[in-house]
Each structure stands twice: as C-alpha cells, then as structure tokens.
C-alpha cells in the first residue's frame, strides 16, 4: 500500500514540473499572415490613426459673416477674396460659376452661327448680318460651310456631334428663323404655327444644351431665344395674336409694314448694363416665350410679351440686334465675344456645403445658392 502511495506521489510531482516548464517556454510563433490579438487594455502606439482622423471637418463661417445671395459679383470689389462656403438653396440647379480674369485666350474666339439647310437649293441659308456682327464684335464667325461636323448636325440632324462642337468652339449664336415643332415643348401643333424644320430643331436644341453644359456663352436671337427656352425646359406661346389677343403688326410685319416697338429692360440684368432701361427694337415674331425656363431671369418685356431672358452666360433676345449695330446694339456683341474669351469653372453645390477659394479679380455668378466667408 505504501509502495502505491509513493508511486502516485511521484506522478503528481512529474505533472507539476512539466506544467512549470511549459509556462517559461517561448510561445510558438504564429504564421506570418496571422497577427496576434491585441488585448483590450493594451495602449495603442502614439500616432495610431483613428476612424475620425479621416473625416475632413468643414470650416464654419464666422458668426457675423455676410450671406451673399444669388447674383453676380467681382471678387475684390463686391466681395473680399478668400475661402467661401457655398450652400444649396434647395434646388437641383445650385451652382457657382467662377471666371478667371487673369489669363484670357490670346486668339479671337470662334463663334458658331447656326443656319437652316435649304434642301431644294442644296445649300445653307446665308447669314451675312450675323457674321458681320460677330466680326465687328471681335470674334470669328463659324458657319456650316466652315466645319464638316457642324454641317452634318444642321443638315442631317446628327446630334451626336453637339458635345464635340461645344468643346471645340468658344460660343454659340442660335439664329432667327421659323417655328419650332410643338412636340419639342410638349404641345400640340397650333393651326397658326408654320411647318417646322425638325432636323434643324433637334440640332439647335442639342447644340444649345451642349454649350450650356460647358458654361460657354450662348446668344439666342428671335427664334434662337425660343430654342434656348425650350432647350432648358420652357415652353412657347405659338401665336401671339390668337393666344394673347394682341393685334397683328405689333410684333411682326403686317400689311408690308415692319414692326418696331419699345422694350423695358429690367435693372441689374446683363442687357440693362449694355443698353440701358429702354430701347426701340425691330420685331419679326408671331411666337414668344411662355414664361422663362427654370434658372432664367426675365430681362426685358414689351407689355406682356417677354423680349429677353438670361442666365449666366446665356442670353436670349426676341428682336434682331445684328440688324441694329449702329442703333446701340454693337456693345451686346462686343460683350458676348468678350465672354467667349475666358475659361470658366462651375462648382455644383449639392446637399453638402461646397468650399470655394476665390481670388481677387475673378468674376463669379451665384445661382440658386448662397455664399459665406469662412475662417
């Protein structure tokens, strides 16, 4: 019995000795692709990045920072240079357009002038007065005969060329002409409307949208103003005498007499800065804009008829300024051509505030947004 007890005691001592030896052994190395677990109470090394370190904190405006509402400003004159926070005004079209006035293009800008293709004659309609206006304004007129892709889009309706042309050229003039097909602005054809040229309609709408998408200057003249409005989602009144109950001859030639009338120009608009508060204009239209498209401002009226509209670098006039260069309209083309000299940057202001750094001398336009200077 004593022998059994002694053997059992020796076995217990052996187990204790083996456990003590394993306690002091080096732990087995982990495979190279496995990291050892970190104990919860182990302090992290200094400089260890934390999740919140990746979050960029938006600077807050100073408590007394002036809120600049939608409008046009010159940095260093109207507002100080610095970093601004642009806030969306609950609009899908909120943006800030910044034009650098430091490095204009050194060459004369190339301006597309649209024209209708006369199928029966196999040629494009001439545009001598438009070309003259562009030349006198300081630009180079580009007609369909000057560019194969421009000819194709206007003659064949190959609208896929619109974006390429907008990237290649500096400005767009949508010229006057006939009525636009009513289905382009979600209406039925009115009996008083003239037969449309749908290839030209589709081409001009595509060109207009492409230039505006790049914030390049667009000037819509007569029909061109109507195309501008339709391209941006607006509609037309298809016949002024029938639908607005205005006498024939007020806005269009009647019994061989050319119509002329006074327009009242809205203070603070692009057109007002160029020609003043009132001017007599020619008139060749029986259709007109039925309220301006979203984001545009009415720039002039003749009674209840909208005679001009604008937004940023897009201006539409219902009259023909190219025929009135010596009656005070040359500055309009000079200013339009000057706008075509510069490169523009567009900041789209979405749900989150957008930070924009503005330098002295820049020209900015705030659309459906507001600006506040930050620290």
Catalytic residue set: 222, 320, 322
Size of the chain in residues: 375
Contact residues for 166 (Cβ-Cβ < 8 A; gap 6+): 172, 207, 210, 211, 213, 214, 216
Partnered with residue 174 across adjacent β-strands are: 220
Question: What b/e readout covers 285-317, taking b as 16+ CB neighbours within 10 angstroms?
Answer: bbbbbbebbebbeebbebeebbbbbbbbbbbbb
Identify the H or E element spanning 94.
none
Q: Where are the alpha helices (DSSP H) in the chain?
A: 2-23, 128-137, 148-156, 162-168, 198-213, 223-231, 240-244, 270-275, 330-339
Residue 312: name the closest of 4, 100, 10, 98 by CA: 98
Cα–Cα distance for residue pair 54/56, rounded to 1 Å: 6
Residue 290: name the closest of 239, 254, 242, 253 by CA: 239
Residue 194: name the closest of 154, 136, 129, 252 by CA: 252
- In degrees to the nearest 10, what's the CA dihedral of 332, 338, 339, 341? 160
Give CA separation, 123 vs 118, 126, 151, 321, 358, in Å. 5, 9, 10, 25, 48
Within 10 Å of residue 195's Cβ, how many Cβ atoms?
A: 9
Which structure tokens are listed for 228? 């501008």
Which structure tokens are listed for 20? 């003590």
Cα–Cα distance for residue pair 181/157, rounded to 1 Å: 14
């Amino acid at each position: 019995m004593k022998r059994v007890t002694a053997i059992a005691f020796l076995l217990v001592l052996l187990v204790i000795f083996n456990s003590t030896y394993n306690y002091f052994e080096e732990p087995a190395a982990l495979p190279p692709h496995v990291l050892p677990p970190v104990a919860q109470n182990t302090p992290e090394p200094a400089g260890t990045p934390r999740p919140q370190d990746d979050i960029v904190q938006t600077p807050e405006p100073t408590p007394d920072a002036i809120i600049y509402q939608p409008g046009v400003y010159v940095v260093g004159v109207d507002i100080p240079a610095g970093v601004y926070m642009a806030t969306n005004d609950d609009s899908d079209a909120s943006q800030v357009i910044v034009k650098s006035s430091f490095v204009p293009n050194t060459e004369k800008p190339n301006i597309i002038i649209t024209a209708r293709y006369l199928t029966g004659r196999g040629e494009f309609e001439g545009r001598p007065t438009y070309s003259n206006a562009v030349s006198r304004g300081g630009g180079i007129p580009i007609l369909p005969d000057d560019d194969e892709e421009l000819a194709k889009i206007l003659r064949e309706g190959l609208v896929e060329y619109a974006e390429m042309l907008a990237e290649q050229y500096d400005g767009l003039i949508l010229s006057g002409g006939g009525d636009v097909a009513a289905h382009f602005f979600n209406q039925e054809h009115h009996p008083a409307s003239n037969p449309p040229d749908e290839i030209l309609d589709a081409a001009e709408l595509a060109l207009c949208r492409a230039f505006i998408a790049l914030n390049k200057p667009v000037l819509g003249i007569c029909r061109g103003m109507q195309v501008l409005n339709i391209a941006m989602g607006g509609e037309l009144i298809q016949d002024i005498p029938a639908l607005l109950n205005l006498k024939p001859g007020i806005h269009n030639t009647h019994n061989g007499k050319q119509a002329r009338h006074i327009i009242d120009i809205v203070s603070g608009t692009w057109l007002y800065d160029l020609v003043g508060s009132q001017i007599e204009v020619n008139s060749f239209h029986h259709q007109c804009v039925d309220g301006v498209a979203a984001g545009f401002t009415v720039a002039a009226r003749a009674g209840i008829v909208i005679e001009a509209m604008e937004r940023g670098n897009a201006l539409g006039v219902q009259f023909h300024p190219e025929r009135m260069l010596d009656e005070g309209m040359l500055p309009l083309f000079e200013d339009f051509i000057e706008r075509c000299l510069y490169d523009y940057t567009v900041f789209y202001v979405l749900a989150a505030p957008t930070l924009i750094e503005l330098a002295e001398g820049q020209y900015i336009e705030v659309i459906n947004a507001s600006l506040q200077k930050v620290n």
